[in-house]
Amino acid sequence: METVISSKITIKSSIDSPRLAYTLDFIFNHFFDCGFDLNPDSHQNLPCISYNNSSSDINNLSIPASSYLSSTDILPDPEAINPDSPAFDIFSFVFYFLSRAEEYDFQSDDSFHRFTSAKSHFGDQISKPLVDIQVLKFAEAIREKLNINLTRRSTFTCIHTVDIDQFYAFKNKSLKRTIGGFVSSTLKANVNNLKDRKNSLTKGDDPYDSFDFLQSQSKDFTSFYFILVGNYDKIDNALDITQNEIKDQLHLLDTQATIGLHPSVSSRNADSVLAKEKQTLESVMNKKILHSRQHFLQLNFPETYRQLIKQGIQHDHSLGYHDAIGFRAGTSNPFYWFDLNKNQATELMIHPLLAMDVTLKKYLQLQPDQAITQVKKLINQCKEVDAPFSLLWHNSSFYEAEGWGGWKEVYLEIVNYCRELSA
């Protein structure tokens, strides 16, 4: 029998819910590109997927439907999302991961109210793209049972992203900050730092000014720069981005990458603060800003995403763990955000983040060579399932006097490895 390639998938189900429609849209329109028909009027002769809680249908591919997608419950029956259980329901499994159900109403023990990797139901397995692996297995079952080959939309690629908390370490700071910095470096007898400060003032060099280097390394990749605008305290401490030198730098970066907002920690639950930061960046860039990533990856469900949507953000890039590398939503493929409390899909597209420089060095306390090994393993996982790998590096994470000696090599190993695998 000849294998049919990517014809529309037919699904028969007594369930008609926003959750099921959302999950099918992700699998058949975004992960694969075949499309689907749910309960079409005439399907008598078409091979189809049957998704019901009644007994299995031997002529078709049967998935046991748990009650999760027809309910408004936040959490599913654990058996439904256990791939080793006979009650395993692939659609509930995918929905559970993408909706980030486990991140609603959790008790945070983190000072930024963040969800930590230890709280994930899937524990150590966050290092694997669990959703992608199960969806590919499902496609295999569709091929065997229905004789339909599904084609993928995505392929392995590197998404190169940079968060700019501070454009410069020394340059373009107010006189008060500059004098204060000099006095503090002298008192601490920090000779390297003092030398760098002097060079910055006399020659214009600055250790955070790695922009030419970042641009030259990322020109083969899709690139983003997320700009912190908030300047209120030690955590939200951006330089004034309306200064001419910074403006010029931003426009230079914009020629090769997408400029996004880096909402401050102070903008949490403060719509007017977020609106102001976005407006400032938009007026500097003379265009609408549609992409965003939270400073410190501070992200709470559903508040943060509701706030972003209200401000007209269409793409968020914050969904990665600050304290672990890996797949926070079980996939690195982009997907729409589903608001569980409203029980409806939204038009905010989430682009998962897989690895951040600070995670490797500060939270996991890896040495440079260990970091290279860990990130290459993660990249291999993406390559295996043909999905994007998204990296976050700060422009400041090359400065040896701040402990980043040896990390430029880590960065280079990562981007070179990605280039090799994308070729």
Write out the residues near Zn ion by the rule CB under 5 A: 163, 165, 295
Contact 117, 321 (CB under 8 A): yes
Least Cβ distance, residue 185 to Zn ion (angstroms)? 24
Least Cβ distance, residue 164 to Zn ion (angstroms)? 8
Is residue 129 classed exposed, middle or buried when 0-12, 13-18 and 19+ CB atoms within 10 A define those classes? buried
Beta bridge partners of residue 161, listed in sequence order: 224, 392
Interatomic CA distance for residues 299 and 392, integer angstroms: 16
**CA 278 to chain centroid:** 20
Contact 206, 213 (CB under 8 A): no
Nearest CB to Zn ion, comparing residues 165 and 196:
165
CA-based nearest residue to 341, from 15, 19, 79, 117: 19
Nearest CB to Zn ion, comparing residues 268 and 295:
295
Nearest CB to Zn ion, comparing residues 358 and 421:
358
Closest-approach residue to Zn ion (CB) = 295
Nearest CB to Zn ion, comparing residues 149 and 311:
311
Nearest CB to Zn ion, comparing residues 284 and 392:
392
Least Cβ distance, residue 171 to Zn ion (angstroms)? 19
Interatomic CA distance for residues 416 and 411, integer angstroms: 9
Beta bridge partners of residue 37, listed in sequence order: 10
Least Cβ distance, residue 69 to Zn ion (angstroms)? 36
Beta bridge partners of residue 50, listed in sequence order: 12, 62
Least Cβ distance, residue 295 to Zn ion (angstroms)? 4
DSSP per-residue letters across 26-59: IIIIIIBSS-EEES-S--TTS-EEEEESSS--TT
Least Cβ distance, residue 297 to Zn ion (angstroms)? 8
Nearest CB to Zn ion, comparing residues 97 and 393:
393
Nearest CB to Zn ion, comparing residues 165 and 206:
165
- 3-state secondary structure string, 366-378? CCHHHHHHHHHHH
Look up residue 296 and give its amino acid. F
Interatomic CA distance for residues 12 and 383, integer angstroms: 33
Tell me which residue has tokens 């929905």: 95
Nearest CB to Zn ion, comparing residues 76 and 260:
260
Is residue 109 classed exposed, middle or buried when 0-12, 13-18 and 19+ CB atoms within 10 A define those classes? exposed
Nearest CB to Zn ion, comparing residues 68 and 226:
226
Tell me which residue has tokens 């500097």: 284
> What's the distance, Cα to Cα, between the start and end of the chain in Å?
35
- Written as six digits, the tokens of 212 are 């030419």
Look up residue 325 and give its amino acid. I
Handedness of CA 5, 38, 139, 330 (dihedral sign): positive
**Is it true that the peptide bond before 302 is cis, omega within 30 degrees of 0?**
yes
How many CB atoms are closer than 10 A to CB 184?
12
